[in-house]
Each structure stands twice: as C-alpha cells, then as structure tokens.
Chain A
Amino acid sequence: MQIPHEVTARPDTGLYNAKLGIWLFLASEVMLFGGLFSAYIFLRMGAEDGYWPHGLLNVPVGAANTVVLILSSVTVVLAWASLKMRKFSQYKLWMGISILCGALFLIVKLAYEWPQKFEHFGAFIKKDAIAKYEPYLDNEGMKRKKLAPRVEVSGHLHEVTMTYDPKVWEGIVKEQETNLQQIDDRLKSGKESKSVTSELERDRKRIAAKLKEMPSVKLENFLPKHDLEIAKEGGHGGAAHHDPSVQTIHSTKMHGSERAGVTPATAEKLEKLPGLKLVTFELGLDPINADPTNPESDKPHFWYKGSTKTHGTIQRQDVESWSAFAPKHSPYFAVYFTITGLHGLHVLAGVLIMLYFWLPVEGGANMFKRNPEHLANRVEVVGLFWHFVDLVWIFVFPIFYLL
C-alpha cells in the first residue's frame, strides 16, 4: 500500500505530503515559541524596576554560536541542492558540516555557557535593607543618572557561615518516633477496621524506613562532605545565638592554600537541612558590585568579565532570595533556560535526524541509489526544520544577550 504524494507533489497544492506536514508542524512550533516569547514579554513588562537583569550572558560566545548556526543553515541548504543536482559526495560533505555545526552549538551551550551560570551566585537584597549595601550598589548614583536601581549583589561564592542547632534535628527524629509509637498503639488495640489496619501498616513501614535513613545528630553525618571542609567554631555561637549548643560553622573548600569556594548548589543543600541556618555569604564581587560608581558599570559589556578579587559580605537575613544563576534565580533566567533549553532540544533533534539522513542506512543516505528524489525531499524537510531552529535563535540571541 503506497500513500499517494509521498514523493511527488499533488498537482492542486504543488506540495508533497512531508513538505505540507513540516509546514503545519512549523506553524505549531511558531505558536509554541510564540507562547514562550509572549511569556518573556509579559514577565519583562511586569518586572519591577531593576529586577530584569542585563548583561549577564557572554556576548562573544553567543554571537559565535549564532554564526555557527547561520553557517549550518547555509550548508544544509547546499546539501539539499547537491542532492537535487544528484551530486552525492557533495551532499555527504555539506550534510556532515551541518551536523558538526549543530553538535558544536550544543557543546558550547552544555559544556561552557550553562555550567558557568550554575557556578555564579546572586542575591536579591530586601527592600528595607538595600541601603546597607550602598557601597556595592551605588543607588544614589543610579538615581542621579535616572537609571533603574540595583537590587542584586552577585559574584563568586567563596564561603558561607552558618549555625547548627542539633536540637531541631533531634526534634524531628523524636516526632517521627512518636508517630511510630502511636501507630503501634493503634495497631495493638485491635479496634481498627481492616482497611484502616492495612493503611496503618503501610504508614508504619514508610516511617520506619525513613527513620532508618536518618543520620544521627552529629553534624558530620549529614553535611555533604565531599563538597566542603568544615571549620567549626563550636560552642560559643554567633551574635544571634546565645545557646551554647548552637555551633557556628564556616564552610569552605580549600584547594591547596587557595579557597576554591563553595558552590551555590552546596549552599542550597545546606540551607535545606533542618537545624542549619545560613548567616552570611562571602563572595568575590562581580565588577558591577566591586566598582559600582564606575560609569562603565552602567551598561553591559561586550567582553565577559568574571568576578573580581574584591570581597563582599552579605547577611542572609537581608536577602530576599538567592541562588546560582539558575532557572530559579529570577524570571529572566527562568525564561532564558526554558527557551534555550527547548531550543537546544530542537537542535539535538535536528542533529539526530540529519545524522540519520547522512549515515549509510536504509532510510538515509542509501536511499540515494533507489530514490534520490525522495532523499532530497527528506533533506529539504529536515532543512526547513533546521532553518526554523536557526530562526528562533536569531530572536533568542538579541533578547537575552543584548537587550
């Protein structure tokens, strides 16, 4: 059974099936990315002054990736033209280059751009505490220059200090033990109906398993050791704590004699642990916070600058929200990671499909001998998809990297 118009065009539409199909698919893709871009516009319009970051991405790298995609767009259309001219070896060459370009784009994204973001640290300062950080922010100057206020201190996280109160942890363990005891009592009473009994037994199993997993109160047992070394100032507690059992901890990872810094991810894990409370962040400030009065800091830079050696300290209690430059950092990074992530998935899909058409397999390059027109159609269709991916990036690059 042969579906009509698989290879040749239907006269009244002038299109073969797959070409019609891909255009319909692209129409829905326009709506998909349209939804995401409209979310971008909506969130950016709704952002309070100063809360939409600028200049946090690496422009030269983004621009280079743009060029890579443009190049691959040229080569993929050349690959199709080669097939139309029935020049097989040229097809293999151009298609091969397109695949490599796509792969290069992904590698830059996944191995360089994204990881860098996850290492970087930013903290939005609470509105009522923002004056305390004037040396890092220079909002007086920003006001004078009629620019949006600065509300974030960012840089490379070196150290966090925190307090540890073992009693909190003990309390949690005790609570679970009490729960377990209550269940046991109810089970022993024999008054419960059959379905309730089976449910209680299920709960019992779950809690018992959880208790078994819970480490003992000793701090060393549940800190993520591999990531940091602990310098304890046991006993005396920080300014906020007068309880002698509360310990203050400096967490930092030493690399030889250098402080290599604790990653934001580790700090996040620590903050979630019961009994642990972050007190301060110490960081190597970004240029904008290290030298806020410099007019150069008012606008984004072309060349990416890492954080400086200038140290800054932020109190956790002054911070509204903090994180790595990860999706949760702000709506800006949320929409950046979502759009570039989805775009990346499209690139990956495109690369895989092109690879399939390039490899000497039945539905791929081997088709050239049997039905070269069909292969040319396939390449045209994946080409249309690939150009669309390029086209999305042409919008992504300015709206995230530049504007």
Chain B
Amino acid sequence: MSQSHDHGKEVAHGASHDSGAPADHAQHDMHLGLYWGIGGVLVVFTAITVWLSYVDFDKMFAGHGWNIIIGMIVATFKVCLVGAIFMHLKGEKPLVWKFLYFTLFFVAGLFFLTLLHYVDPIFGTTHAHH
C-alpha cells in the first residue's frame, strides 16, 4: 500500500517520477483500525497459545508431540498475520515474494534434511524422542 502506483511493464527507470506527495489519506485512516485490530487478535492468540499448552493433546489424540504441532500452527498463524498486515506482504511486490519463496524453501531444507539423521541412522545409537 505504500507504493500503489500501477506501473506499466515497459517503463524505463527514472530518478524522479514520484513527487513524494502524501499518499491517500483516507486509505491510511482506514488501516489504522485494522492495525489495532490485528494487534488485538495477536494478543488474544497469545493467550490461546498459553492455554493450549496446558491441554494434554497427546492424551486426547493418543499420539505424540501434538502439543508441539498445535502450538506451532498457532504461532505460524500469528506470524502470517504479522507478515501479511504489519509487514504489508499482502499486496507486496512479486520480487519480495520471490525472495521469500527461495528463503523459505532453503530454510525448510535446513530443518528437514538435517533431521534425516534421525530418520535413517546407520548405527541405531541416536535417540529420536521429543
């Protein structure tokens, strides 16, 4: 929303095509409420995260590590809100998104490929608990 000009594709770069005039007032006024609202949602979800961590999901679902999975889902949701609204990723330029795709792909590689050591150990000496 900071740069809402719709540039044509075939434009040469120029040093001073933007006058730097204040952007649309109404648009920003509208967002102020949104920002507070998102802040409120984040606070509420912080409380929910805390509450969820005291619920024994492992017993409920007869499994293992459910609390971690659920906690991470909530955290990821919060992070998405921060990214989308506060960091303006919603409607951000495709270039920024491209950086993020790459980065997230590599970070996922880092997370999961290192864990292969626990999935397929040759000596059976590593403990894969929690």
CB of A10 closer than 8 Å to a CB of B: yes
- Is there an interface contact between A30 and B103, defined as CB atoms closer than 8 Å? yes
B12 to chain A, nearest CB (A): 7
Cross-chain pair count, CB within 8 angstroms: 178
Q: B81-109 CB contact bits vs A (8 Å, 1 = yes)?
A: 01100110000010110011011101100
Q: Determine whether the beta carbon of B28 is less than 8 Å from that of A391.
A: no
> What B residues does A314 contact at CB under 8 A?
none
CA distance A8 to B111 in the complex (A): 38
Interchain CA distance A283-B71 in the complex, whole Å: 35
What's the least CB distance linking B93 to chain A, in Å?
Answer: 4
When C-beta atoms are compared, the residue in chain A nearest to B103 turns out to be: A27
Contacts of B31 in A (CB 8 A): 81
Whole-angstrom distance between the alpha carbons of A376 and B3 in the complex?
A: 12
Interface string of B64-80 (1 = CB under 8 A from A): 00011001101100110
**Considering the chains assembled together, what is the distance between the CA atoms of A206 and B53 in angstroms?**
57
Cα distance, A75 to B8, chains bound together (Å): 34
Binds B, one of A65-73, A162-170, A266-274, A284-292: A65-73
Contact yes or no, A20 B15, CB < 8 A: no
A398 to B71, Cβ gap below 8 A? Answer: yes
* Contact between A299 and B115, CB atoms less than 8 A apart: no
Q: Is B20 positioned at the interface, with any CB of A under 8 Å from its CB?
A: yes
A18 to chain B, nearest CB (A): 12
Interface size on B, residues (CB 8 A): 68
| A373 and B35 form a contact (CB under 8 A) | no
Across the interface, B13 reaches (CB within 8 A) one of A7, A10, A376, namely A10
Assembly CA distance A278 to B71 (angstroms): 42
Cα–Cα distance between A11 and B6 once the two chains are bound (Å): 9
Min Cβ gap B80→A in Å is 10
Which residue of A4, A48, A49, A391 is within 8 Å of B79 (Cβ)? A391
A34, B111: Cβ atoms under 8 Å? Answer: yes
Residues from 44 to 90 in A contacting B, C-beta threshold 8 Å: 44-49, 52, 59, 63, 66-67, 70-71, 73-74, 77-78, 81, 84-86
Q: How far is the CA of A48 from the CA of B25 in the complex (A)?
A: 58
A14 x B95 contact (CB < 8 A): yes
A334 at the interface (CB under 8 A from B): no
Contact at B82–A380, with CB atoms within 8 Å?
Answer: no
Q: A395 to B75, alpha carbons, bound, how many Å?
A: 6
Shortest Cβ-Cβ A-B pairs, 9 listed: A373-B20, A402-B53, A74-B39, A34-B107, A8-B18, A11-B11, A14-B93, A27-B103, A11-B7
Residues on B facing A (Cβ under 8 Å): 2-3, 5, 7-9, 11-18, 20, 22-23, 25, 28-29, 31-32, 35-36, 38-39, 42-43, 46-47, 49-50, 53-54, 56, 67-68, 71-72, 74-75, 78-79, 82-83, 86-87, 93, 95-96, 99-100, 102-104, 106-107, 110-111, 114-115, 117-118, 126-130
Chain A contacts to B: CB under 8 angstroms? 2, 4-5, 7-15, 20, 23-24, 27, 30-31, 34-35, 37-38, 41-42, 44-49, 52, 59, 63, 66-67, 70-71, 73-74, 77-78, 81, 84-86, 148, 299-300, 302, 371-374, 376, 380, 383-384, 387-388, 390-391, 394-395, 397-399, 402-403
In addition to A37-B111, A299-B56, 14 A-B residue pairs with Cβ atoms within 8 Å of each other are A30-B104, A34-B107, A35-B110, A45-B118, A46-B126, A70-B39, A70-B42, A70-B43, A73-B42, A81-B32, A387-B82, A387-B87, A390-B82, A398-B75
